[in-house]
Homo-oligomer: A and B are copies of this chain.
Amino acid sequence: MKSPHLIIIGGGFAGIEMLKQLNGLPIKVTLLDKNNYHTFQPLLYQIASGGLGPDAIAYPLRKIVGRIPNIAFRMAEVKSIDTNQNIVTTDIGDFTYDYLCIATGSVTNFFGNKNLQEFAMELKSIPQALDLRSKILQEFEKAVSQTESGQIEQTLNFVVVGGGPTGVETAGAIAEIKNNVLPSDYSEINKNFMKIHLIEASDRILAAMSEISSEKATEFLKNLGVEVHLKTQVKDFTGTELLLGDGSIIKTETVIWAAGVKGEFPQGIESNSIGRGNRILVDEISKIKGLNNVFALGDVAMMTHEEKYPNGHPMVAPVAVQQANLLVKNLQAIINGKETKAFSYFDKGSMATVGRHRAVFESFGIKMQGIIAWLGWMFLHLMLLVGFRNRLVVFVNWLWNYVSYQRAIRIITRPYKGKN
């Protein structure tokens, strides 16, 4: 019997977990991704803040695929999917499949605001993180030559929108730049001109965690000098002025939008299979409703059979990894005519770091804050990184940053000149 051909679109957490589980199985696999590397997204903000280089958190996909005989990789941008003819169309040609897994993840959600889309910075990919690093440093360089205090304040106001883990970690990292890098590198700048704002629409940050974690994280941010604005909506952004819901304005040139993500996938999925947040509706084994051989998993998928998650699972790496793991087992069951097993999310907890010695951590009812949570956060992120080499490089950089209080990689590799 000829091995069936499985195409996986996307080398994120779901994609690479599938590869690991598919190693050696009688299934021919092709992984498609527009990049030739896997991105460890949880640490993108550390690239933006100069603590890590891209090579520390990017992992070449061919390093995973290369030695597995039943798996091939093609760097390709998928244009569309034809689920009737089982064809994936890409910029390097067409591919036919027996089974298809869509693991294309998510992109920033600006909720239709064109100005924010044009002017706000994003933090979902390595080029975006490098752009943000350049932008922050360029603002500092600009401020050095400015003489009017109003101008300097506009240049040195940094606004992070969204109080989830990404927003909290980014705001904390920028505050540490203010406290540790600005005084030594930019002695000509009055440090007090620099302000970091964190804006959150709901009544607390880290809303997915407990109230004690929210409170503690808010306290940590305030200790670092971040101004936390709760119950605050963002209406618009002109590139120099951020308009808030109450009509007030923050003059700023740097807005980092961490207030939402949405599913991202190629054309060819019927609109009645698409749910809230542009996520593809799937059943309890990740199969897209109405299709027999096409699956979706991770951020891009919305699976609603679990009572606890009526609007789909949280868009985080552990969901993607667990769904990928089960999907490979279920695919084997389907191929062999055996029974499949419904997905059930095993939530191991969550955490966020604000800065040096400052983190919040929740797992199985245990709640920790401060230095122990911070050490736990670092240990777990080191373990979750793909490959020993990246762990080593991140560890060496963290050690250096810890000892020196610096963000060593404060280099503008390519100046940021706006999106496109």
Q: Which residues of A contact B (CB under 8 A)?
A: 35-37, 53-56, 58, 60, 62-63, 66-67, 72, 74-75, 92-93, 126-127, 130, 137, 141, 144-145, 184-188, 389, 392-393, 396-397, 400, 404, 406, 408-414
Are the C-beta atoms of B396 and A408 separated by less than 8 Å?
A: no
Contact partner of A409 among B55, B396, B406, CB < 8 A?
B55
How far apart are A174's CB and chain B's nearest CB, in angstroms? 17
Q: A75-B412, A389-B400, A393-B393 are in contact. List 11 more A-B contacts (CB 8 A).
A: A35-B412, A53-B54, A54-B411, A60-B411, A63-B185, A66-B184, A66-B187, A74-B144, A74-B145, A130-B413, A414-B414
Are the C-beta atoms of A67 and B145 separated by less than 8 Å?
A: no
Contact partner of A62 among B55, B145, B186, B413, CB < 8 A?
B186
| Residue contacts A-B, CB under 8 angstroms, 19 given | A35-B412, A36-B410, A53-B56, A54-B413, A55-B409, A62-B410, A63-B406, A63-B410, A66-B185, A66-B186, A66-B187, A67-B184, A74-B144, A127-B413, A130-B413, A389-B404, A389-B408, A393-B396, A393-B397
Residue of B nearest to A187 (CB): B66
Residue of B nearest to A397 (CB): B393
Query: Are A36 and B184 also in contact (CB < 8 A) when A62-B410, A127-B413 are?
Result: no
Are the C-beta atoms of A408 and B55 separated by less than 8 Å?
A: yes
How far apart are A395's CB and chain B's nearest CB, in angstroms? 9
Docked pose: A56 CA to B92 CA in angstroms: 34
How far apart are A249's CB and chain B's nearest CB, in angstroms? 27
Kindly list chain B residues whose C-beta atoms are within 8 Å of the C-beta of A92.
145
A54, A60, A141, A392 pick with most chain B CB within 10 angstroms: A60
How far apart are A385's CB and chain B's nearest CB, in angstroms? 13
How far apart are A277's CB and chain B's nearest CB, in angstroms? 28
- Closest 4 A/B residue pairs (Cβ): A62-B185, A53-B55, A37-B411, A55-B409
Docked pose: A74 CA to B145 CA in angstroms: 8
How far apart are A184's CB and chain B's nearest CB, in angstroms? 5
Are the C-beta atoms of A141 and B75 separated by less than 8 Å?
A: yes
Residue of B nearest to A56 (CB): B53
Kindly list chain B residues whose C-beta atoms are within 8 Å of the C-beta of A67.
184
Docked pose: A130 CA to B404 CA in angstroms: 28
Are the C-beta atoms of A400 and B410 separated by less than 8 Å?
A: no
Docked pose: A400 CA to B414 CA in angstroms: 27
Contact partner of A414 among B56, B60, B72, B127, CB < 8 A?
B127
Kindly list chain B residues whose C-beta atoms are within 8 Å of the C-beta of A141.
36, 74-75
Docked pose: A392 CA to B37 CA in angstroms: 25
Are the C-beta atoms of A400 and B411 separated by less than 8 Å?
A: no
Kindly list chain B residues whose C-beta atoms are within 8 Å of the C-beta of A75.
141, 412
A54, A184, A411 pick with most chain B CB within 10 angstroms: A411
How far apart are A394's CB and chain B's nearest CB, in angstroms? 11
Kindly list chain B residues whose C-beta atoms are within 8 Å of the C-beta of A137.
36
Kindly list chain B residues whose C-beta atoms are within 8 Å of the C-beta of A35.
411-412
Contact partner of A400 among B93, B145, B392, B413, CB < 8 A?
B392
Kindly list chain B residues whose C-beta atoms are within 8 Å of the C-beta of A410.
36, 60, 62-63
How far apart are A123's CB and chain B's nearest CB, in angstroms? 16
Kindly list chain B residues whose C-beta atoms are within 8 Å of the C-beta of A58.
411, 413
How far apart are A32's CB and chain B's nearest CB, in angstroms? 12
Are the C-beta atoms of A396 and B392 separated by less than 8 Å?
A: yes
Residue of B nearest to A144 (CB): B74
Kindly list chain B residues whose C-beta atoms are within 8 Å of the C-beta of A127.
413-414
Docked pose: A60 CA to B93 CA in angstroms: 43
Residue of B nearest to A413 (CB): B54
How far apart are A143's CB and chain B's nearest CB, in angstroms? 11
Are the C-beta atoms of A411 and B62 separated by less than 8 Å?
A: no
Query: Are A93 and B36 also in contact (CB < 8 A) when A58-B411, A185-B63, A396-B393 are?
Result: no
Kindly list chain B residues whose C-beta atoms are within 8 Å of the C-beta of A37.
411-412
Residue of B nearest to A65 (CB): B185
